[in-house]
Chain A
Amino acid sequence: MAKSLFDKIWDAHVVRSMGGLDVFYIDKHLIHEVTSPQAFDELEARNLSLFRKEQIVATADHNVPTKNQHLPIEEPLSRMQVDKLTDNCRKWNIELFGLGHENQGIVHVIGPELGITQPGMTIVCGDSHTSTHGAFGAIAFGIGTSQVTQVMASQCLLLSRPKRMRITVDGELKKGVGAKDLILYIISKLGTGGATGYFVEYAGSAVRSLSMEGRMTVCNMSIEMGARGGMIAPDETTFEYIKGRPFAPKGERWEQAVAYWKTLYSEEGAPFEQELHYDARDINPMITYGTNPGMGIAINQPIPSQVSASEAVSFDKSLKYMGFNPGETLVGKPINYVFIGSCTNSRIEDLRTVAEFVKGKQKAPHVEAIIVPGSKQVEKQAREEGIDRILAEAGFELREPGCSACLAMNEDKIPAGAYCVSTSNRNFEGRQGPGSRTLLASPLVAAVTAVEGKIVDITQYFN
């Protein structure tokens, strides 16, 4: 029978099946400071040991400051959490790219850029945006801390197989429309729970034409429509990206790897429980107006004026929180904060997009902009390419890497009541700080907003 990309990889990782559950083998386990300490404690409390330490890679990202990383972390609880990760990694002999290390960065940025993430792998991390790694044709998904302990102790999880969904986007994306708009568009169609229970494969010419950075942005936000994960079949773009990276296979191993990776695609007639098709030409620059990522609209369209009866309470609550009215447009709304960063949009291509637009322009005086690269490597490359100077001349500051204002665990917070156009992945109430109001958008929309100081219909801007 014809097999899907997902089934090929899943089947290759089943140690044994029992009833509706599979003992499922994990190739790579990424850990960070926030969801691992309790897992290490549990391991010790049960007198267990690490089963395959060489398959774990650690970094500090969620909780780290984005200024003065060479100094001790000021905030005592954050410092304790980062220190605990360092202690645990030392004790168990785990590879750690800690604060100050040249490979440190957001876990979903460093995995791919170091060549750790490869097609056909199973990858987990105690973070829901682990779906990012699916861009390489891997099965990658977020897990809870109890499962982190399970993988530490056995390199396996006990899982039921998710259903399969394929989302095909054909056609050419319009000027000013990128990967972020594509995924915000899909999520706006499916809603924040529309893919719950599914693992999604993205296909079609619009997806194929995306760079690896763009594909990562798409797969990253799969969780925002409830999907267990998202993936894209590997192709020449994928192999080209991986080749020569520090953890990538070398020499003969590389040839063997590519030969295997080329078998990873969905065969003609492979079964999917749900198939959806979209036309790339229907997609416009997107922005969210509400408090979940499914509440997205084309930037020049009005906020919906009516929703179904069952959604009304949540819709009203959401608009009240955001300070918006049903049916109104966002164009012209003044914005005081812009955040460019997060595992969704903090890669070199994102920074290049921002730099290209702001070059020779000035940030609006009332806007505070936080630009946080995804990793030390991205930061280094941005400096080598002169992006830091372009940003500085336009009034922006390039920070040091971390999750930063995406979830506001560190000092980078948006004040209560303030609007922030953000390239991150979640616009939940208080996500960027208590009372903060987040509008999700692409790096391009964020850059335009920072310069204009308000929401602009960029479709007009670019035509």
Chain B
Amino acid sequence: MEKFEVLRTTAVPLPIENIDTDQIIPARFLKATSREGFGENLFRDWRYNGDGTPKQDFVMNNPRYGGSILVAGKNFGCGSSREHAAWAIYDAGFKVVISSYFADIFRGNALNNGLLPLQVTDEMLQRLFVQIMEKGPNTEFVVDLPKQEFYVPAWNESVSFEIDSYKKECLINGYDDIDFLVNQKEAIEAYEKKKAWVY
């Protein structure tokens, strides 16, 4: 996993609520057996016509917008547990997704892949959409993970965001849970021995 510290970048707005992981990466693209290459099919059916030509009205095909933050409507990542959704977003160059809340499994999958799910209030989310879509797609944002701070230079305003302290350390250092869990083997074996009911 790549390390994450401070990011300064523009953002891509997607003001739709309840974006499910079937939209992020449709099931027919889950046949690959590696983790790579899912980015080209990110939002496939919103982004491309059936013949593969880009849909001009989709935000990722609009040259005005770019950057490595995706700003999306509330309840982002609901539905299927496919981690391919987090892989696709990361593979397409995004490092942060901002929304006013995330589906639980998606949030976990994102954190396990160096993709930061950054939760803001509903009000802040609406202001971000207005800022990016009406005032200027060139607006830059700063995500400072060590300080847990989201800064909007155009407003000279910053808000703090929540993240579990262990998960934060993992992102900053590029670790994941596997290293940690494998080191717990003694405790796990001890637990198995004293378990009241073993299946």
A196 contacts B176, CB within 8 Å?
no
**Chain B nearest Cβ from A106, distance in angstroms:** 15
Q: A196-B103, A314-B73 are in contact. Are A38 and B33 (CB under 8 A)?
A: yes
Chain B interfacial positions (CB closer than 8 Å to A): 15-18, 20, 22-23, 26-28, 30-35, 45, 50, 73-75, 78-84, 86, 101-105, 108-109, 112-113, 122, 126, 164-166, 176-178, 180-182, 184-185, 187-188, 191-192, 195-197, 199
A226 contacts B75, CB within 8 Å?
yes
- Residues 148 to 175 of chain A near chain B (Cβ within 8 Å): 149-150, 153-158, 160, 162
A15 contacts B191, CB within 8 Å?
yes
B79 contacts A426, CB within 8 Å?
yes
A193 contacts B103, CB within 8 Å?
yes
Q: Is A180 an interface residue (CB 8 A)?
A: no
Q: What chain A residues lie within 8 Å of B192 (beta carbons)?
A: 25
Complex alpha-carbon distance, A197 and B45, angstroms? 29
Q: Is A71 an interface residue (CB 8 A)?
A: no
**Chain B nearest Cβ from A403, distance in angstroms:** 9
Q: A35-B81, A158-B181 are in contact. List 16 more A-B contacts (CB 8 A).
A: A15-B184, A23-B184, A42-B178, A55-B199, A84-B33, A126-B81, A150-B181, A196-B101, A226-B78, A226-B104, A294-B18, A313-B15, A317-B16, A407-B22, A409-B27, A426-B20
Q: What chain B residues lie within 8 Å of A313 (beta carbons)?
A: 15-17, 73
Complex alpha-carbon distance, A162 and B107, angstroms? 13
A16 contacts B75, CB within 8 Å?
no
A35 contacts B83, CB within 8 Å?
yes
B113 contacts A146, CB within 8 Å?
yes
A15 contacts B187, CB within 8 Å?
yes
Q: What chain B residues lie within 8 Å of A46 (beta carbons)?
A: 178
Complex alpha-carbon distance, A405 and B180, angstroms? 39
Q: Is A266 an interface residue (CB 8 A)?
A: no
B122 contacts A310, CB within 8 Å?
yes
Q: Could you list 25 A-B pairs, sorted by A, with CB under 8 Å?
A: A16-B191, A23-B187, A23-B188, A25-B188, A25-B195, A38-B83, A42-B178, A48-B178, A77-B31, A142-B81, A142-B105, A146-B113, A147-B108, A147-B112, A153-B178, A156-B184, A193-B18, A226-B75, A226-B103, A260-B197, A311-B17, A313-B15, A407-B22, A409-B27, A426-B20
A27 contacts B199, CB within 8 Å?
yes
**Which of B83, B86, B101 is in CB contact (< 8 Å) with A193?**
B101
**Chain B nearest Cβ from A304, distance in angstroms:** 15
Q: What chain B residues lie within 8 Å of A214 (beta carbons)?
A: none
Complex alpha-carbon distance, A429 and B16, angstroms? 13
Q: What chain B residues lie within 8 Å of A28 (beta carbons)?
A: 199
Q: What chain A residues lie within 8 Å of B84 (beta carbons)?
A: 145
Complex alpha-carbon distance, A223 and B113, angstroms? 22
Q: Is A416 an interface residue (CB 8 A)?
A: yes
Q: Report the count of interface residues on A (CB-CB < 8 A).
A: 77
**Chain B nearest Cβ from A302, distance in angstroms:** 22
**Which of B28, B166, B184 is in CB contact (< 8 Å) with A408?**
B28
Most A Cβ at <10 Å: residue of B50, B74, B164, B188: B188
Q: Is A12 an interface residue (CB 8 A)?
A: yes
A76: nearest residue on chain B (CB-CB)? B31
A121: nearest residue on chain B (CB-CB)? B199
A144 contacts B31, CB within 8 Å?
no
A128 contacts B166, CB within 8 Å?
no
Most A Cβ at <10 Å: residue of B32, B83, B180: B83
B81 contacts A143, CB within 8 Å?
yes
Q: A81-B31, A144-B109, A226-B104 are in contact. Are A430 and B80 (CB under 8 A)?
A: no
Complex alpha-carbon distance, A76 and B51, angstroms? 22
**Which of A15, A118, A149, A193 is in CB contact (< 8 Å) with B78?**
A193
A12 contacts B78, CB within 8 Å?
no
Q: A23-B184, A292-B20 are in contact. Are A12 and B196 (CB under 8 A)?
A: yes
A193 contacts B75, CB within 8 Å?
yes
Most B Cβ at <10 Å: residue of A37, A62, A158: A158
Complex alpha-carbon distance, A77 and B197, angstroms? 41
Q: Is A18 an interface residue (CB 8 A)?
A: yes
**Chain B nearest Cβ from A373, distance in angstroms:** 21
Q: Is A20 an interface residue (CB 8 A)?
A: yes
A416 contacts B75, CB within 8 Å?
no
A20 contacts B164, CB within 8 Å?
yes
In the A-B complex, the 7 residue pairs with the closest CB atoms: A193-B75, A144-B83, A144-B109, A77-B31, A146-B112, A37-B33, A142-B81
